[in-house]
């Protein structure tokens, strides 16, 4: 199933993370969710953070926003 619209809760989640320089991963996060919140392609975040497999991130891992180089 493909999700094409965001719930109000998801919009709030994204809004609260938009201007963050870094983010600590919690259970259920994906690089795609973080990239959507930051409005940065997930591939760019993966490259900037030296993440070889963008499908594999870990709880408590700190992800840095490439917009704040």
Look at 3 and 48; give whichever has higher pLDDT.
48
pLDDT band at 68 (very low <50, low <70, confident <90, very high): confident
Cα distance between residue 42 and residue 12, in whole Å: 20
10 pLDDT more than 70: no
Residues 6 or more apart from 7 whose CB is under 8 A from it? none
Confidence class for position 17, pLDDT limits 50, 70, 90: low
Which of 10-14, 50-54, 64-68 bottoms out in mean pLDDT, i.e. has the lowest? 10-14
Write down the pLDDT at residue 16: 59
- Residue 48's CB is within 10 A of a number of other CB atoms, namely 15
């Amino acid at each position: 199933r493909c999700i094409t619209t965001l719930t109000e809760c998801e919009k709030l989640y994204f809004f609260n993370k938009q201007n963050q320089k870094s983010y600590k991963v919690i259970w259920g996060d994906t690089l795609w969710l973080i990239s959507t919140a930051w409005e940065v392609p997930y591939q760019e975040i993966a490259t900037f953070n030296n993440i070889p497999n963008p499908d594999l991130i870990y709880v408590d891992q700190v992800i840095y926003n490439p917009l704040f180089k």
